[in-house]
Structure 1
Amino acid sequence: MGTAELAAGALGRATASPILAIGAGFIDLTPVWLKDFAIRTFGSNDKTVLLIGLGAGITIAALVIGLLSTPRLVFGLIGLAAFGTVGGTAALTRPVAEPIDALPSAVGALAGMAALALLARSVRPKPRPKPHPRHRASPIRHPETTAKGKVAHSTAPLGGDQATGPRSEWKNWPEHRSKDAPEPAPGAGAGIDRRRVLLTGAGVVGVAAVGGIGGRALLRRENVSKIRTRLRLPAPVSQAGPVPAGAQVRVPGMTPFRTSNADFYRVDTALVLPQVDPRDWTLRIHGMLAHPVELTFDDLLRQPLIERDISLSCVSNQVGGVLAGNARWLGVPLAPLLRRAGVRPGADQILSRSSDGMTLSTPLESVLDGRDALLAVGMNGEPLPVAHGFPARMVVPGLYGYVSATKWVVDLKVTRFATDQAYWTKRGYAERAPVKTFSRIDVPKPFARLTAGPIAVAGTAWAQHRGIDAVEWQVDDGPWRPARLAPVPGIDTWRQWVAEWDALPGSHTLRVRATDKTGTTQPEHRSPPVPDGATGWHSVVVTVT
């Protein structure tokens, strides 16, 4: 594996790494229920857990290969060849794969075979040299008393006795062994050279460590963080309005109105972040267009940029979940670009593709209906973080991320849903996925222990591109009470709410529901994220003393 990492680093192709290629293949084959379980359980750490699991699996595979090689080395070599084949196949099945991507797995398999052969040879018993007849001790005569009291003489090697030492070996010498004495066992006197085993093992470990560390270091050559840090974005021709005073509810533990870049949720299938140099980046806009275009990053920055506050949320977000965030985005309006390219009649989808081959589908009408759909280049006053799509990504308010928020975007194809399917729609998710009306209780936290008396109950609600019109909350099975809504800069952001509760001792259940500006109220019944987003009332249980 270390040698394979080194080969992938030398090629400058992280996706050719066997462990990353196998991990990406595992993600592709993961059933929807397991994906939702991983996101629900581990959140943004799901990829770390997957890599740890892959590491454990590789360790077990190595142990099995070692055991197979014990009776016959060829069995272990076949196991390593099979492992290399799996890695190479996984690398070649990636959406942006090239034939050379199979090379690291092949190099790694060959290096593994060589290492296994060396290790097997090092633990092979090493026969002890037989003493040369010239070096044998001269026999001397020892007096022995016979049963009749007479003295007899026998011969034994010098320095021997009747139990140990050379005397014990003397009976095995051919010229002194009796006819009835058993033959010595094959390999008798053989032993393992521990020094050779330790040196060979240390050498193999050293090569593995140098290869793995060296491969990672070579891949860091492609890191674009320094380029991003030096990048200066143009000022917008249309700035976002100021966030109204009071948009942030002042309650301890309350969610910030604007989510920092570091805290913004990340859900994608990339095990390693794509490193896209803006100097090499191009965006191809094609398909059912009269005038297909291709833009460089400089071309994109020469377009009029606008700045908007927009909340995003993930379709995998459970009721009460935290896979949502609000940020100030800077980008190019997408609708004018498409209109200038001339959208042909019959088109109803934009199939977008990221630099790592991920595809998302966006309803065309949601981009052309007047909302602020962006090709974003900035986030919260700085260039996009690499984890959030640098150098460019899509942001379409009012849609779940899996049909709108393509990161590291490099290709937009105007097409039809009947013609092309994206990654998640192939796996049973809805083609069109407007964000559902959603609310949650942020304070107090579930299972909190509170003191009787006035207590602040507060939370967040959203229905992007429709806006939140009302939030109601309930204690146990009592009446629904209106909450006070904080002001917001527009209908594309989430909205905070707060209420005061005169809490009495006991165990209580708090619930919340929201109504959007179309009059739609969040339903009571909970539904899972598949196929078009979770819904239902959020509740928390607290204890008041």
Structure 2
Amino acid sequence: MLAVLAALAAGHLVAGVLNPNASPFYAVGNTAIDLTPAPLKDFAVRNFGTNDKLVLLGGMAVVLVLFGAAAGLVSRRRPLPGVALAAALGVVGIVAVLTRPDTDFVDVLAPVASLLVGATVFLWLHNLASRTTEVSEQGMNRRQFMYTSAGVAVGVGVAGVGGQLLADNVDIEGSRSAVGDLVPATRAPAIPAGADFPQLGTPRFITSNRDFYRIDTLLNVPRLRAEDYVLRIHGAVDREVMLRFEDIRRMRLVEQTITMTCVSNEVGGPYVSTSNFIGVPLKDVLAEAGVKPGAEQLFSTSVDGWTCGTPVADVLDRGLLAIGMNGEPLPAEHGFPARMVVPGLYGFVSATKWVVDMEFNKFADKQSYWLKRNWGQKAPIKTQSRIDVPAGLSTVKPGKITVAGIAWAQPRGVAKVEVRADQGEWVTARLATEVNTSTWRMWQVDIELGPGVHTVECRATDKAGYTQTDQRVAPIPDGATGWHSTTFTVQN
């Protein structure tokens, strides 16, 4: 087990110098994410939410520890089985690094170092542990083995911490601070006082950057500085364009209030948030390139190699290349230096973070990351609503019960929300003040309920006249449907 930890620490240290993504632990983990069958990914998101990556890392750590223990047990008589297993583990790391889209050939030095150190430490400790001497010298040899093992453990800690410090040496926060104030030429209208009612238990209209949901495929957040950022625009365009961050910064900035929704959101789920994004309309960004007629999709690529296909019509109509969020540069975990935001489409087809490449083509030319896994192609956001209060399984006082929640139907807008208790008559809720049709809308209604257990359901109708269906459909491939309900008890 010490040899396995030494191998990982050595690889992490070398990766800190070359490329943090080349750390065998991260490279294998990210590759495992890419190769995981979609149903298993859906299970992880559904059951672990935004903690799914922590669960994966913890699971990998447990597997590696068990792997090390097993390698030791089969090598009690001779070291060859353990060395072979160490080599196999190293090869896995090498293959993972060589096949990752966010690593270069030179980065293979990290898993190579991992392999060499792991095998060397294993042979060294195995030799000490298996050395036979007379009984009088056994105590000294045991102490020597324990001292050596303790030294290896200390070395593992130093190398691991050193690798992390080197990886964190890319000063993203310094780069964000250097961006300075983002002053849009057109500001989003102020949020009216009647747009939310958090005192009832619903979210605030604007989600803080800290609380904004984060769903992506990465174990470690890319550390891309604004001063190193380049966006390439090519494909079915009149001319290829390369834009640096300062080029984008000098364009006419606008601020827009937008609600984003993740396709992984179950009925009543938490993966919906609203922010004031600052950026440049994509139609302005693309004007210099000139999108050719016939282009169907904007095939965008993140710095880590993740890809996304967005319908060109939606991109040109309301797409935004965002560089700011709630009055400050984008946080690193939300795409700094730049990301796409296209209201009305689920994030997996519209919201590439750390975007570095935009290619215009037809849907038949290239398949994006999730389309290869049989998710939807265009994925417009479905009309949905959620009950926030009363909370499920809660107990409330008798009398008039306030039921409140949120609804969304970007970019159509919410026209009506209805609520019913115990499958009774539908009652129309009072809607909060609308901010725009690309944002969520809060609602509330008071109902009289007697003592006992009650179930309340809600449904929304959008401005196109569509009322959400009660038919339950899973989030994958293109968004969940169904009425959200909550069950609670009214006291006697």
Determine if contact 1:5/1:216 at 8 Å carries over to the other structure.
yes
Matched, 1:195 2:143: yes
Counterparts of 1:238-277 in structure 2, within 5 Å, are: 238-277=186-225
* Residue identity matched to 2:197: V
Determine if contact 1:125/1:190 at 8 Å carries over to the other structure.
no
Matched, 1:78 2:68: no
Give the deviation of 1:418 after TM superposition.
Answer: 0.8
Which of residues 232, 235, 253 is equivalent to 2:180?
232
Matched, 1:523 2:466: no
> For residues 99-134 of structure 1, what are the alpha-carbon distances to aligned partners after superposition, in whole Å with 9 as ceiling and x for unaligned?
122211111111111111121122224423xxxxxx
What stretches of structure 2 of length at least 5 have no aligned partner?
1-7
Give the deviation of 1:61 after TM superposition.
Answer: 0.9
Which of residues 306, 316, 320 is equivalent to 1:368?
316
**2:124 counterpart SS class:** helix
- Counterpart residue number, 1:431: 377
Which of residues 20, 23, 31 is equivalent to 1:14?
20
Give the deviation of 1:189 after TM superposition.
Answer: 7.0
* Residue identity matched to 2:296: D
Whole-Å Cα distance in 1 between the matches of residues 129 and 251 of structure 2? 68
Determine if contact 2:13/2:162 at 8 Å carries over to the other structure.
yes
- Counterpart residue number, 1:150: none
Deviates more, 1:99-108 or 1:486-495: 99-108
- Counterpart residue number, 1:102: 108
Determine if contact 1:439/1:514 at 8 Å carries over to the other structure.
yes
Matched, 1:499 2:445: yes
Which of residues 290, 295, 299 is equivalent to 2:247?
299
Determine if contact 1:251/1:458 at 8 Å carries over to the other structure.
no
> For residues 346-372 of structure 1, what are the alpha-carbon distances to aligned partners after superposition, in whole Å with 9 as ceiling and x for unaligned?
210000011111101100011223x2x
Which of residues 139, 154, 157 is equivalent to 1:206?
154
- Counterpart residue number, 1:352: 300
Whole-Å Cα distance in 1 between the matches of residues 199 and 444 of structure 2? 9
Whole-Å Cα distance in 2 between the matches of residues 120 and 421 of structure 1? 49
* Residue identity matched to 1:123: A
Which of residues 57, 60, 69 is equivalent to 1:63?
69
- Counterpart residue number, 1:407: 353
Give the deviation of 1:388 after TM superposition.
Answer: 0.2
Whole-Å Cα distance in 2 between the matches of residues 409 and 125 of structure 1? 56
**1:477 counterpart SS class:** coil
CA gap of 1:250–1:68, structure 2 versus 1, over 3 A, is closer
Counterparts of 1:90-169 in structure 2, within 5 Å, are: 90-128=96-134
Counterparts of 1:304-315 in structure 2, within 5 Å, are: 304-315=252-263
Deviates more, 1:249-258 or 1:353-362: 249-258
**1:251 counterpart SS class:** helix
Whole-Å Cα distance in 2 between the matches of residues 296 and 230 of structure 1? 15
Equivalenced residues, count: 483
* Residue identity matched to 2:383: T
* Residue identity matched to 2:16: G
Deviates more, 1:310-319 or 1:502-511: 502-511
Whole-Å Cα distance in 1 between the matches of residues 341 and 52 of structure 2? 23
* Residue identity matched to 2:233: I
Matched, 1:2 2:9: yes
Whole-Å Cα distance in 1 between the matches of residues 199 and 138 of structure 2? 73
Determine if contact 1:243/1:488 at 8 Å carries over to the other structure.
no
Which of residues 23, 39, 51 is equivalent to 1:45?
51
* Residue identity matched to 1:489: V
Determine if contact 1:466/1:518 at 8 Å carries over to the other structure.
yes
- Which stretches of structure 1, 4 residues or more, deviate above 3 A after TM superposition? 188-192
- Counterpart residue number, 1:488: 434
Q: Which of the two has greater helix per residue?
A: 2
Which of residues 415, 419, 422 is equivalent to 1:473?
419
What stretches of structure 1 of length at least 5 have no aligned partner?
129-187
Determine if contact 1:515/1:521 at 8 Å carries over to the other structure.
yes
Deviates more, 1:243-252 or 1:316-325: 243-252
Give the deviation of 1:20 after TM superposition.
Answer: 0.3
Determine if contact 2:195/2:434 at 8 Å carries over to the other structure.
yes
Whole-Å Cα distance in 1 between the matches of residues 171 and 448 of structure 2? 54
* Residue identity matched to 1:378: G
Whole-Å Cα distance in 2 between the matches of residues 59 and 79 of structure 1? 13
- Counterpart residue number, 1:457: 403
- Counterpart residue number, 1:151: none
**1:446 counterpart SS class:** coil
TM-score, length-scaled by structure 2: 0.96
Whole-Å Cα distance in 2 between the matches of residues 355 and 443 of structure 1? 40
Give the deviation of 1:531 after TM superposition.
Answer: 1.1
* Residue identity matched to 1:334: L
**2:193 counterpart SS class:** coil
Which of residues 369, 373, 387 is equivalent to 1:441?
387
Whole-Å Cα distance in 2 between the matches of residues 16 and 106 of structure 1? 11
* Residue identity matched to 1:7: V
* Residue identity matched to 2:249: L
What's the C-alpha RMSD, in Å, of the aligned pairs?
1.3
Give the deviation of 1:336 after TM superposition.
Answer: 2.4
> For residues 226-284 of structure 1, what are the alpha-carbon distances to aligned partners after superposition, in whole Å with 9 as ceiling and x for unaligned?
22123214411111111122101253322111100000000001111001111110111
Whole-Å Cα distance in 1 between the matches of residues 390 and 356 of structure 2? 43
* Residue identity matched to 2:201: G
TM-score, length-scaled by structure 1: 0.87
Give the deviation of 1:292 after TM superposition.
Answer: 1.6
Matched, 1:326 2:333: no
- Counterpart residue number, 1:174: none
Determine if contact 2:182/2:329 at 8 Å carries over to the other structure.
no
Give the deviation of 1:383 after TM superposition.
Answer: 0.6
Whole-Å Cα distance in 2 between the matches of residues 540 and 5 of structure 1? 47
Give the deviation of 1:44 after TM superposition.
Answer: 1.2
